[in-house]
Amino acid sequence: MAPLDCMQGMIAGYVASPRGQEAIRNYLSSPEGKKAIDCYLSTPEGQDMEKLVLSRTLDRLDLPPDIKTLVREALEAEKKNPRNIA
């Protein structure tokens, strides 16, 4: 198990580095990366993650509170009556 832990540590260190983050950014903006994102977002887990990220992003946006409330209400309505938008 130690070699696996070592490899995981190396990967985590690379991903946390500026060079690793640039590599991830480049991949995610490539056609292959966009396809991978779309594939993930078409899964129930991906849709849950998408809503979580949107909610957290909304918290940090400089929007009027009433607009944030409208978006949150739309997200809640979507949870209760999901559409297949993928």
Please give the helix or strand (H or E) that residue 22 lies within, else none. Answer: helix 18-29
User: What percentage of the chain carries pLDDT values higher than 90?
Assistant: 63
**Is there a domain that residue 5 lies in?**
yes
**Is there a domain that residue 68 lies in?**
yes
Domain of residue 13: give its range. Answer: 1-31
**Is there a domain that residue 36 lies in?**
no
Residue 68 and residue 47 in one domain: yes
This prediction has a pTM of: 0.60
**Is there a domain that residue 72 lies in?**
yes
The amino acid occupying position 65 is P
**Is there a domain that residue 14 lies in?**
yes
The lowest-confidence range among 2-16, 27-41, 69-83 is: 69-83
Helix (H, G, I), strand (E, B) or coil at 43: coil
d(CA 56, CA 78): 17
**Is there a domain that residue 25 lies in?**
yes
CA atoms within 13 A on the CB side of 10: 6
